[in-house]
Every structure is written in C-alpha cells, then in structure tokens.
Structure 1
C-alpha cells in the first residue's frame, strides 16, 4: 500500500502527530481522530511547520471519543487502512486501574469492531514492549526479548495498569485478526523519546525534563529501552507500505539506558544546568511502590535489565534505529526550544 486514506486514532498525541506527519510525507491522505477542534488545529499547526500546503490539504479530522460509538462509522467511511495509535497515559499508577485499562481494551475493541463492519481490513496498531517483556520471572540480571515473547500477566509480581491494558488490547486485536480475517501488524515501542513537535508533549518526556531542569531531585538506578518517536512513526508507515508485515509483531527499541546515564548525557551537553545526579536506593523504591504512585510504574524493572531485539525492527526500517543518546539529546533540545522546562529556583 503506497497511498490511500488512512485513519489515525489519537492524532493529537506525541506519536500520533509524528505518524500523521510521516504519512503525509509518504504521500498518504490522513483522517485524524481528535477529541476537540482545538486539538485538530494544534495538529495542523505542528504539521504545517514541516510540510507544504499540498500535504496539509490531505489532512482532515473527525471529532469523536474512543469510549463512545458516536461517529465511528462516519470515521471509517472511505478508509483504506487504520493506524491505531490512541492511548491513555498517566503520570502515576491510578487507584482505579480501569482508568487506563478501559480505554486501552474497550477503545481497541471499538476501533476493530467498526473496522469489521465498515469492511476495513488493513490495520497497524501501536502496542508496547509492555506486552513482551513482563511476567517471565526475571527479578535480577539482564534478559533480551524478541517478537515471539509475550507478557504473562499472571506471572507479574506487581500489577501495572498500563501493562495490563496494552497486553489485553493486543490479545483482543490478534483475536479479531484471526476471527475476522484482518490484516494486522503491531508495533511495540520501548520508552518513546525524541523531539516534540509542539508544547503538548507525552508524559514519557518527563524522564528527560525532570533530570534536565532538576525538578526531579533524585532518579531511580534502573533504566529503560529507548526508541526515538521518529523511528516509531516511520515504522508504522513502513508497515503499511510492505505487505509482508501483515500478521507480524515488530519491536521498536534502540539502546537500554539507565537513568544515571541520562543524567551524564545531559550534564555533558548542558554543563551550565543543574542536572539531577542523585539516585534513589532500590529498597526505597520497592517500599514506595507498595503504596502505588509513580514508583509502581517502574517497580517491575527494578534490579533487572530488559533489552529488546532490534534486528526485525531495523530490517523493517531498512536502517539502524536512532541511538538512545541521540533520542535523549533530541528530547532535551525540543524541551528547551519550546520553553517546557521548569524555571530555576
């Protein structure tokens, strides 16, 4: 598929905006789903700075809610493919898990159900490494996961709403693909960093902003497998363009970077800034995680390193992933350019 009209859910999100941009650059027409007209205008403004008016003329929007049936049939009219990006991210583990699990699972089911009734067969879905590398009993050491690994929710030591929601949503998607003969591809990013197109940024960028402006006084000792948002968007477009990707999962993860390394990268690039350097002992994180909050979202990674195979994802792109260091630096540069850091006190 080299052209056509693509429905992008969650077009106003961090990944959504980049995906819209890359689809337009590749010659596709895009219909983006947004919650309000103001968000549609924000996407237009972000994209306008990178493409010409001809590309912008191929971008339209429809206002709807991932949790309601209204207007989804209208959204699917004339669509050649769907890129389902929409996700609900939160800063800390919610007391009510359904705040995150509901949109992930019910939202995905709604998109697929209306795709089936509308006769849309081709779907590329943003999943996560959270559906791959958890519940395998790893509590210490290094492990590398590949596309044939699946998270075992029953094997997790601590519940994690994002992981549960993403895993259940992927399971639902593959069940639909089998039962309804859908041409599905799933993309599984690690921690998504990279340049923001505007001031409406993802919570994932806080992993850099808090260290860069010193607003996070300490950081955990563990790390995360990074991927640049530009690679994530490019993988979605490449999946649409390459028919052999149907029925396949693709990991999108570059380098594993511990938080202290993020601090060192930023301190070297911005020596004049008050870069966070202190780390929080693992035992304190484990204690705090029992009460929920932001520590609950990283507790399953404390004491172990989760690496992800990059071979299949890089083959899809036809090049190497952007390095983790470059993704961190690109994030920092955009946060500074957009004035999104907390002022020095």
Structure 2
C-alpha cells in the first residue's frame, strides 16, 4: 500500500469519479472503486488511464461490487480504507415518474456508506453534493441573486421540487446529521453544471448540453444559464479537501461564473462554424405552460426567469488557484465528445457559403 493510504471512491464509473480516481492515483494514493457491476472494471481502468497514463495505475486501482440500495459488499469495501469519496449518484435526463428511483439511492445510499464507514472506523468522508442543495426554496422567482455555502435549499418552500434536488438535499442533511452524531470528519463539495473533457464514451448527461448543440439534436435553447465548473476542478477539490484538515465540517461550492445557454452556443459556433448550432430560444411562457400541463420540466422550471450566481471563491481558495475558465470547460467538452464519437449520426454540418 502507498504511504498515503487507500481511498474508497463510490460510483467509480461516473464522470466525476473517474477524474477523482485519476487524481488520487497521480497523488500517490491507492484506490478502491465501487461498481454495481464488475464487468465495467476494465472500461473504468481504461478511462482512468486516458486521464493519467501512469504505469502503476492498474496495481493502484481495485474494485468491489456494491449497490447503494443493498448492504452486501460494503463491509468488505471498507477494509483498510483511510478515507471515502462518496461520489455515486443517480442522475436522469428527464424527471422520472417515480421520484424514489432517484431519491432512494441518494438518501439510503449515503446513510449506508456513512454507517459502513463508521462501523469500520473510517472517519474521513468527502461527499459530492450539488448546488441543488443550496440555491432553491428561497423565494427567488425573478432577477439576479447570489448564493453562498451558507444557503441551504428549503424543499418545503419550492413550488416545483424535482427528484434530483430532493435526493441530494436529503442525502446531504442525512450525512451531516450522522457525521455530527458519530464524530466523523465530513466535507461536502457542491458542483454546478459539470462540463470539461470526457475521459471515454461513457460520460455525463451534462455533456449532452454541448453535444446537442454541436450535432443539432437540440432544436432550441432554454432561456437560462447556469454556474459552470470543469470536471477537473471538481475532482481536484475533492482531493484538496482530503489533504486539508481545515476543510473538515465545511461546504464548498464548486462553481465558476454564470454562463447563459446562448453564450455556450456562441462559444461553440466560433470554434465549429460548420456545425448546425441552433439560434432559437424557447420562450419562458412556453416552459411555464408546459409545467402547468405536467410536462417533465421540473428540473429547470425553478430557474426560469432568474439568474443564480453561486459564489465559488471559497472553493478557489481550497484549490489554491483559479478555476479553469468556463470557455475552456465548454471547448474541452466539445473536443472530447467529437473525438469519442458522441455526436448524433443525423447531424449534417451546415454548408458554408462560397
């Protein structure tokens, strides 16, 4: 075992988790990743190798099969572990009819991980949370507002809660409650919209924002924006938190500047002028009508008509450097979704005029 010890990373096949694993290995740690299906082990190893081509990566990375909704495997997963990165999450593109399909793995899974860690004597936990646990239920219906780590989402005050927000918020609440009751050293990281380079073809739903614009499968943009963050910064913040005891008991927003959907399109249009990138924007009134009719837009309807800034300077201080720019996060995502063949075959580049 390396001098820095063995770190457990849950949800090892995820977009963020693969970068966390690569960063840990590069930093001299051994890593054990959890997977629901060990058949994914080789593909995760290859993705990690794509990020950090280190000869010893295979010997420093092992896997165990677990499920967030089952006890089997978790006790063994904790053997000899010095710290845990609980990154695993269920993320869906469209709001599910059954919210429990997202909420249960988030809440029960977090409790299960915390309980297994405590039983094994593992105190240090870094939890991947979200801005969804910060910036909602505060009566913000229009205009601009800035949120910090001091804000906590109020699910009871949300007009239209959605499964991911419910799951992440309740999971974080459960984690802090358990940590305080059992003297565990918890830190939570709260990313915004995660972009940046894909490590392989099995990537995040969030990169669909970029690929949908590039291949024309997004016919019209939403009239809104988001606080973007590069996946490399999210991973680096997890490791910085692990290595800085001052982060214990703290929440950190992993958020760069607010960027509007139309600005993302323009960044891509400048780099890829032959791509069929839409200029159309869905009007707010149409989204609100769709929401009243029961359309699956609850994931974004709370952000219609307002601008939410998430103050990320505390996270930059943890990193010890500025965040990767929003433009670089967008363009590196575009380069890799193109290189890995993640664009729709139906996309036909526009013909340029002579």
For residue 65 of structure 2, what is the aligned residue in structure 1? Answer: 63
SS in 1 for 2:81: coil
Alpha-carbon distance in structure 1 between the residues aligned to 2:3 and 2:325:
28
Structure 2 unaligned spans of 5+: 349-354
For residue 306 of structure 1, what is the aligned residue in structure 2? Answer: 308
User: Taking structure 1 as reference, are residues 41 and 184 closer, same or farther at Cα in structure 2, changes over 3 Å only?
Assistant: same
Choose the corresponding residue for 1:154, options 153, 156, 172: 156
For residue 8 of structure 1, what is the aligned residue in structure 2? Answer: 9
* Structure 1 residue 119, shift from structure 2 partner: 0.7
User: Taking structure 1 as reference, are residues 152 and 46 closer, same or farther at Cα in structure 2, changes over 3 Å only?
Assistant: same
CA RMSD of aligned residues (A): 1.3
Alpha-carbon distance in structure 2 between the residues aligned to 1:286 and 1:194:
31
For residue 24 of structure 2, what is the aligned residue in structure 1? Answer: 23
* Structure 1 residue 290, shift from structure 2 partner: 3.2
Structure 1 unaligned spans of 5+: none
Alpha-carbon distance in structure 1 between the residues aligned to 2:166 and 2:278:
31
Q: Report whether the alignment pairs 1:82 with 2:84.
A: yes
Contact kept? 1:225, 1:256, Cα under 8 Å: yes
Q: Report whether the alignment pairs 1:327 with 2:340.
A: no
Alpha-carbon distance in structure 2 between the residues aligned to 1:321 and 1:306:
18
Choose the corresponding residue for 1:239, options 231, 241, 251: 241
SS in 1 for 2:56: helix
- 1:198-257 deviations in whole A, cap 9, x for unaligned? 000111111111111110101111111100000000000000111111000000000111
**Structure 2 matches for 1:112-191, cutoff 5 A?**
112-191=114-193
SS in 1 for 2:297: helix
Q: Using structure 1 for the length normalisation, give the TM-score.
A: 0.98
Contact kept? 2:253, 2:315, Cα under 8 Å: yes
Choose the corresponding residue for 2:102, options 89, 96, 100: 100
Which range is displaced more, 94-103 or 286-295?
Answer: 286-295
Alpha-carbon distance in structure 2 between the residues aligned to 1:51 and 1:182:
34
- The alignment of Structure 1 onto Structure 2 pairs a total of residues equal to 345
For residue 207 of structure 1, what is the aligned residue in structure 2? Answer: 209
For residue 352 of structure 2, what is the aligned residue in structure 1? Answer: none
* Structure 1 residue 291, shift from structure 2 partner: 4.5
Alpha-carbon distance in structure 2 between the residues aligned to 1:224 and 1:313:
17
Q: Using structure 2 for the length normalisation, give the TM-score.
A: 0.95
Alpha-carbon distance in structure 2 between the residues aligned to 1:294 and 1:221:
17
Alpha-carbon distance in structure 2 between the residues aligned to 1:174 and 1:291:
37
For residue 38 of structure 1, what is the aligned residue in structure 2? Answer: 39
